Amino acid sequence: MGNIVAIVGRPNVGKSTLFNRLTKSRRAIVNEEAGTTRDRQYGKSEWDGREFSVIDTGGWVVNSTDIFEDEIKRHVVLAIEEADLILFLVDIQNGITDYDMEVAQILRRTTKPVILVSNKADTHEWQFNAAEFYKLGLGEPFVISAINGLGTGDLLDHMLTKFNSDYTEDIDENLPRFAVVGRPNAGKSSIVNAFMGEERTIVTDVAGTTRDAIYTHFNKFGHDFYLVDTAGIRKKAKVSEDLEYYSVVRSIRAIENSDVCILMIDATRGLESQDLNIFSLIQKNKKGLVVCVNKWDLIENKEANDIKKMEAAIRERLAPFVDFPIIFTSATTKQRILKVVDTAVEVYANKFRKIPTAKINEYLLPLIENYPPPAIKGKYVKIKYITQLPNTYIPTFVFFANLPQYVKEPYKRFLENKIRAKYEFTGTPMQLFIRQK
C-alpha cells in the first residue's frame, strides 16, 4: 500500500510548487481563486520504485471565513491524522514567522515523522540562512528550491527512509475489496451496517497497521469480499463542522486500497462539489464505480419518471464517464441494499473481463472502416488490428495504426463507447492505447 505524504506550511511558502515537482505535474496552478476543484491538491508520485501519494492540505480549505491561524492549524491536524509523513515547508528568504513557530509547536507533539524543509533557496547563497530554522526544534532543515529542483532528490531519498515499510497482511489477494465513500451524512455507516446485518459473527476485522486501511471480511448471501474502511473514518471527527473538510482527504486511503468504490449520494441533496471531488479521486485511481443514491425513501411526491431524471442528471455531471450503474437505495428500510453488493461484484468481474482478439477485431474493424478517424493534413489514419492486453489492472486495449499520433481524444471515446456497447464493462474504467503497428 502506498504511503501518504502531506505538505503543510503557511501560504506562499511554495507548497503548490513543491507539490507539482513531486507529482511531476503542472496542474496546481498557483494563485488560483479559492474554491475551484480541489482534485489538483492530490497526486501520485514515484521515486526509486516506491509509489506514494502527495496531498497539499492547504488546498482543501473551502472558502473558509475562519481566522487564518485556525485554518492553518486545521491543516496541520488533518495532516497529522491522515498522513504517514509530514513535510513542513518554511521560507528561507523570509525566515521564521510566528505562524511557523505555532505549527512547529503542534508538530513537535506528533509521533508521525516530520521533515522540516526550507524552500526558496533558489541560489546557493541562501543556503547559509537555513541555520535559524533549528530554532523550530524539528531537527535539521532540508534546504531545497522547489522552483528549480535544487536539493529535491536528496529530500526524496530521505523521505523514503521515513516510510513505513509495506506491511504484509493476512488478506486474501483474490477477494474483491469494496470501499463505501461519499460525503458525511450520505448514509455510509448505515449502509455498511445494513450490509453487516445483525449477525455480527460473520464479520471479522483484519487489522492492517492502525493507521492504514481496515478490511472487514464479509461472507454471506453467497458473496465473499472485503469492505475497506480506514482507521481515520472510524474515529468520530472531533469537530462536527470539520466533517465536510475532512471527508475528501479521508476518502483517499479507502479509495486507493479498494477495487470498486461505492459512491454514496444523498438523494435529498443531489450531487454536490464534494461528491465530484471524491468521484475525481476514484477516476484518478482507476477504480470501479457503483453510484448509490441513498435516502430515496425520503423523497416526497415521487413521480414515475423521477428516477430516470435523477439518473440522467448524475450521468451528465460525471460525463464523459457515463457507463456505471446507479442504484436507488434506502439504508433504513434496507431497500435494494443487496443489489448494491451484487452490482459491486459484477463491476469487479467486469474489470477482469477478457475479449478474445479474433472477436474484438471482427466486431470493431468494420465499424472503424465505416467511421475512420478524421484525416489530418490529408493523411489518412488506418487502424489495422486490435488486441486486449493480458494481466492489466483495468481493461486495456491496444489499437495498432499507421499514424497513432493523429488519433485524438474524441475518436478514442468513440472507440471506447463502441466496446462498451457490445461488451459488459459497466462501472470499470478502461484504457485505450494507439500504437505504431
Collect all residues with Cβ–Cβ distance below 8 Å to 5 and sequence separation of at least 6: 22, 45, 52, 53, 54, 55, 83, 84, 85, 86, 87, 159
> What gap in Å lies between CA 64 and CA 61, rounded to an integer?
6
pLDDT at residue 346 in the model: 93
Tell me the one-letter amino acid at 161. Answer: T
pLDDT at residue 166 in the model: 56
| Tens-place pLDDT, residues 359-390 | 999 999 999 999 988 888 888 889 899 999 99
DSSP 8-state code for residue 258 = -
> What gap in Å lies between CA 357 and CA 373, rounded to an integer?
21
Q: Other C-beta atoms within 10 Å of 299: how many?
A: 15
Three cell numbers, residue 386? 486490435
Whole-prediction pTM value? Answer: 0.75
Tell me the one-letter amino acid at 53. Answer: S
pLDDT at residue 269 in the model: 85
- Taking 50 as the pLDDT cut, the residues of the chain under it are 28-39, 60-64, 168, 198-211, 231-241
pLDDT at residue 240 in the model: 44
Site of grid cell 474483491 = 176
| Tens-place pLDDT, residues 102-125 | 889 889 988 889 999 999 888 888
pLDDT at residue 398 in the model: 94
